[in-house]
Amino acid sequence: MSYKNSRSILKKILYFSLILNLSCQVVMKLRSQRHGDLNRVTNSIGMEFIQVPAGEFLMGCSKADAFCDEDEKPEHEVEIRKSFYMAVTEVTNREFMLFIKETSYKTEAEKIHSTNTFRSCYTHLPKPDTPVICISYNDAKAFADWLSEKEKVRYRLPKEAEWEYVARTDLITPYSWGFEFEEGFAWYKKNSGGNPHPVKQMKPNFWGFYDMSGNIWEWCEDNYDKDAYKPAKERKQTNQSAPKVLRGGSWFDAHVMLRVSVREFAPPETIESHYGFRLIREDL
C-alpha cells in the first residue's frame, strides 16, 4: 500500500471518529436533558408544567428539508434568553370546563350562535382528557388571563420561537423525533380516525412534552408575518386583529404538516375542530 493511500485511509478513519465522537456528545446532551432531569410543577387545577432552560437553537426549515415553505426560510439562530415553564400537554376539556364553570365565560363561537362550539365538539367527543377544540385565539387568551388571576402567576400562550425551541429539543431535524416521519409519535390524518385523541397517548419528545406534533394545532402569541425570518428578530405585537400563528399540525393533516418548522395562521376569532392551545407559565 502506498504512502498516499495510507494517508487517505487515515484521514477517513479520523473523520469518521470525529463524527462518531460528535454524535455521542449529542446523544449525551439529549440524555442529560430528558424529561426526568428537568424541573416540574403542577398548578392548582392539575396542569403539569416542565421548566425549559434558556438557550440557543436553529429555527426554521433547513436546506435539507425538501418540503420547506417560503415562510419557513431561512433557517436562523434564535436565542431564548430566559427559562420558562411549558405545559406538558395541550389544555384539555376538563381544564377548560373548570374555567367555564367558575366564570360563566361565553366563547366566541357561542356569542355568534355558531353550531361549531367547544360544547358541541365536547358532546361529540365527551372525553375529559381530550384537548379542548373549537377554541379561538381570544378564548385561549381569556383562559390564560383567568388562570393568571386565580394563581397570581402569569400564564400566556407561547411565542412562536419558544414553541419551536421546545418542539425541537436541540435537534435540527424536520420532525421532533428525527429526519423521517415515524408512527407512534403523533396523531395525524392517516391514524386519527377523523378526531383528536386524549393527551399522552403518543410518545413524548426528549424533554417530556406530548403532542408537540399532531393532535391539534396550537395557538401562539405572535402575529403571523410571512417575512418574519428575514431578518430574524423578536417582533413587537402591534396589530391585535392580525392573523395569529398556530404550530404543530393536527389529526386533520398529512404528516408533512407535522414538521416542526411548519407555520399555520388564522384570524384570532377563528374556530376550528383542529385548533386548540397549550400554555406557558412564566418562570418565577
Q: CATH number for the domain including 116?
A: 3.90.1580.10
Instruction: State how far the Cα of 91 lies from the Cα of 63, in Å rounded to an integer.
Output: 34
Quote the CA–CA distance of 60 and 194 in Å, as a whole number.
29
Q: Do 63 and 146 share a domain, yes or no?
A: yes
End-to-end CA distance of the chain: 65
pLDDT (average), residues 206-211: 96
**Most confident residue range from 29-43, 126-140, 251-265:** 251-265
> What is the distance between the alpha carbons of residues 173 and 177, in angstroms, rounded to a whole number?
8
Identity of the highest mean pLDDT range in 14-23, 31-40, 222-231, 251-260: 251-260
229 in Cβ contact with 59 (< 8 Å): yes
Q: How confident is the model at residue 265 (pLDDT cuts 50, 70, 90)?
A: very high
Would the CA dihedral through 72, 188, 120, 278 be positive or negative? Answer: negative
CA-wise closest residue to 206 among 170, 164, 258: 170
pLDDT of residue 235: 52
209: phi then psi, degrees, rounded to nearest 5:
-95, 135
Q: Is residue 10 domain-shared with residue 50, that is, in the same domain?
A: no
Does 131 lie in the same domain as 56? yes
In terms of domains, do 195 and 157 share one?
Answer: yes
pLDDT beyond 50 at 31: no
Domains in the chain: how many in total? 2
Question: Are residues 52 and 63 part of one domain?
Answer: yes
